[in-house]
């Protein structure tokens, strides 16, 4: 009933920029933390950045200063602006959100299907 759909990935040269978007849909009552994670081939999924409903942000050291996470609570969307991209940023990027849906007293964590980001040197 709840879906997260990412968009905005692609192929970019080192030093370039990309903006990822993620839209949440379904019978959503509230969204707490939203975030971006990534998984490179042969590596574990890792945190990129998170943002609370109040706008408090947290970044991985590897992207701090190069990336900005933001959200539009009214549109139920989260964004990740990535600048000065490096080949080591190449990964599948996943959107993540802690969501309470209508009729539930619990909060559940949802994941998107992922979007590929490839940075060429």
**Residue 94 forms beta bridges with which residues?**
37
Mean pLDDT, rounded, of the chain: 97
Q: Is the dihedral of CA 5, 73, 1, 34 positive or negative?
A: positive
List pLDDT tens digits, range 60-98: 999 999 999 999 999 999 999 999 999 999 999 999 999
- CB atoms closer than 10 angstroms to residue 115: 22
- Note the Cα 2 to chain centre separation in Å: 16
């Amino acid at each position: 009933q709840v879906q997260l759909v990412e968009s905005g990935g692609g192929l970019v040269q080192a030093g370039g920029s990309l903006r990822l978007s993620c839209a949440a849909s379904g019978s959503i009552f509230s969204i707490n933390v939203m975030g971006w994670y990534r998984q490179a081939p042969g590596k574990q999924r890792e945190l990129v950045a998170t943002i609370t409903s109040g706008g408090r942000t947290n970044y991985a050291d590897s992207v701090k200063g190069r990336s900005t996470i933001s959200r539009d609570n009214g549109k139920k969307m989260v964004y990740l602006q990535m600048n000065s991209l490096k080949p080591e940023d190449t990964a599948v990027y996943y959107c993540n959100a802690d969501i309470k849906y209508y009729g539930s007293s619990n909060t559940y964590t949802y994941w998107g299907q992922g979007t590929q980001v490839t940075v060429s040197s």
